[in-house]
Amino acid sequence: MGCASSKQFKRRTPGYEDPNILAKETTFSVNEVEALYELYKKISNSIFKDGIIHKEEFQLALFRNSSKKNLFADRIFDLFDQKRNGVIEFGEFVRSLNIFHPDTPMTEKIAFAFRLYDLRCTGFIEREELKELVIALLNESDLFLSEEAVEQIVDQTFKQADANGDGKIDPDEWKDFACKNPALLRNMTLPYLNMQKSTWARAVVM
């Protein structure tokens, strides 16, 4: 676009935000935000070339396949898309990825996971939602468990997580449960975001 000689970030994409401001708001340093911008550009120009991440591009980045439907990826996309305009802008991208930073406090990760699993945004993880998620995962992996087996798994989990037994998991119950089972949140941390150690960042910045 005729700006090859320009300095970084001259070409402003929609939703572009100043790395300094983003760095202040997040765990990332300015350099790291800049590195993320390179990644963002790469992803957002992979299909539509308009500098904004569309769902297809997001799927392509995750699965190397732009048409792979996945409930969980959809959920992540929706949560990244804070303005709810159907695309992920750069600011949204950085702020959302911040949750996945190894240094981000656990409480933020726990809250993010809660919103992720609260499919209908009711403020609770309900039994039906959990079941739907389990079934989605099983389908994704081509597994077929009987209704009964799924029920049993969900029941058992509710027994552990739903402390007050009202049939839904509220944020406090979720917090307790997640603290007891930290493995649940393993996907909420991406070691790659710790850029001092990550070869990825070096590669992108260069």
Partner 1 sequence: MTEQKSNVLMGKYEVGKMLGQGTFAKVYHARNTKTSESVAIKVIDKDKVMKVGLMDQIKREISVMKMVRHPNIVQLYEVMATKTKIYFVLEHVRGDVRRLLVRILDPNPSTRISMEKIMENPWFRKGLDAKLLKHNFQVKEKDVAPPADLDCLTESKQQEVKKPCNLNAFDIISLSTGLDLSGMFEESEKKRESKFTSTSTASTIISKIEDIAKSLRLKLTKKDGGLLKMEGSKFGRKGVMGIDAEIFEVTPNFHLVELKKTNGDTLEYQKVLNQEMRPALKDIVWAWQAMNFGAKGSNDLDVRKYSESYFGLCPDDSSSPNSPPVAGGGRLTQTAGDAEPSAASPVPDQESIRLDRGSDAHGLRRRQRRGTLRMTDTVQCRRRYSPAQLCPVFLCSVRRRTLLHEGSYGEGTTHCLVFHCCKIEKWMPMTSVTKAWGTAAWMLPMGCILGV
Chain residues that interact with partner 1, rule: CB under 8 A: 39, 43, 61-65, 68, 70-76, 97, 100, 116-117, 130, 133-134, 136-138, 140-149, 152-154, 156-157, 160-161, 177, 181, 183-187, 190, 192, 198, 200
Q: Which segments within 119-196 are labelled E, that is strand?
A: 125-126, 168-169
Among residues 13 and 46, whose Cβ is nearest to partner 1?
Answer: 46
Tokens of 129: 């939602």
Among residues 22 and 161, whose Cβ is nearest to partner 1?
Answer: 161
Say if CB 52 and CB 89 are below 8 A apart.
Answer: yes
Among residues 20 and 181, whose Cβ is nearest to partner 1?
Answer: 181
Closest separation in Å from C-beta 83 to partner 1 = 20
Say if CB 37 and CB 19 are below 8 A apart.
Answer: yes
Closest separation in Å from C-beta 64 to partner 1 = 6
Among residues 43 and 52, whose Cβ is nearest to partner 1?
Answer: 43
User: Distance between alpha carbon 180 and the CA centroid of its chain, in Å?
Assistant: 22
Angle, helices 106-117/90-99, rounded to nearest 10 degrees: 110
Tokens of 36: 């993320």
Closest separation in Å from C-beta 125 to partner 1 = 9
Nearest to 102 by CA among 6, 34, 193, 25: 193
Closest separation in Å from C-beta 85 to partner 1 = 21
Question: CA-CA distance, 159 to 176, in Å (whole number)?
Answer: 13
Say if CB 50 and CB 1 are below 8 A apart.
Answer: no
Closest separation in Å from C-beta 39 to partner 1 = 7
Among residues 104 and 157, whose Cβ is nearest to partner 1?
Answer: 157
